Amino acid sequence: MSVVEISDVSMAFDTRVGRIQALEDVSLTVADGEFACLLGPSGCGKSTLLNVVAGLASPTGGSVAVDGEEIHEPGRDRGMVAQTYTLFPWLKVRANIEFGPKLAGVPRAERARISERLLDRMGLTEFADAYPRELSGGMQQRVAIARAFANEPRVLLMDEPFGALDALTRTLAQDFLTEVWEADRRTILFVTHDIAEALMVGDVLYVMGTRPGRICERIEVEFPRPRTREIEEDPRFGALRHRILNLIRGEVVPEGEVVA
């Protein structure tokens, strides 16, 4: 059964330099419990598509349904994790994670159970009583992910959540996400421009191209779960990486050229 159904979504923007077709006839479905990735170069419309699914932008054509219901605005069934840290600075880590459940009226004991489990999985237990400003960027982003999982949304939308992290912190954050997802199997639509990251975390990749923004290919990633860094040594990893690079190569907008 599909949770997210994106049907012929198009999005055009009128700008100073003319009309930009950010998305053209994009269709895909995300199945229940699936980890789907949108992968493509800068400017191919990944964020635009995610914002449409989030209900933050209305497409110029097509529609998006979640659990069969067409969406027109943001809702609690969709949780968003953005690239920049969006924690509440006045709340401690634990309270940040419990914020959504508290708002939803989840009883205190149950809230504590949810946050304990996520703190543990994300390696944050020692920092439960710290404020976000006391944490590194990588840890703050782990809290943001824990907070999104705590809300138990129908689908999690993640827009380059590790984009602001250095390479080493980024791999660690990917490992934490993989672990928490493998325990929870929440439906995820994850955006990245990093091929290795998509191969590490995702089950299904939608490789996107530019001008117009569209889906070039759907690729199933069949590395077994639980997944570890060892897949990087697998010859299939290199082969997939190479294939995707070739797909994307012609799609990169030349440096210095105006995108918008």
- Write out the residues near ligand ADP by the rule CB under 6 A: 13, 15, 20, 22, 40, 42-48, 213, 259-260
- Cβ count within 10 A of residue 185: 12
Spatial contact of 41 and 248, defined as CB atoms under 8 Å apart: yes
Q: Which is nearer to ligand ADP, 95 or 219 (CB)?
A: 219
Site for Mg ion in 31-50 (CB under 5 A): 46-47
140 belongs to the binding site for Mg ion (CB under 5 A): no
Q: Which is nearer to ligand ADP, 15 or 84 (CB)?
A: 15
96 belongs to the binding site for Mg ion (CB under 5 A): no
Encoding tokens for residue 245? 């690079």
Burial class (CB in 10 A: 0-12, 13-18, 19+), 14: exposed
Min CB(134)–Mg ion separation in Å: 29
141 belongs to the binding site for Mg ion (CB under 5 A): no
Q: Which is nearer to ligand ADP, 49 or 155 (CB)?
A: 49
Query: H or E stretch including 36?
Result: strand 35-39
Q: Which is nearer to ligand ADP, 48 or 151 (CB)?
A: 48
Report phi then psi at 239, rounded to 5: -65, -45
Spatial contact of 38 and 190, defined as CB atoms under 8 Å apart: yes
Min CB(158)–Mg ion separation in Å: 11
Pairwise CA distance, residues 150 & 249, whole Å = 38
210 belongs to the binding site for Mg ion (CB under 5 A): no
Q: Which residues bind Mg ion (CB under 5 A)?
A: 46-47
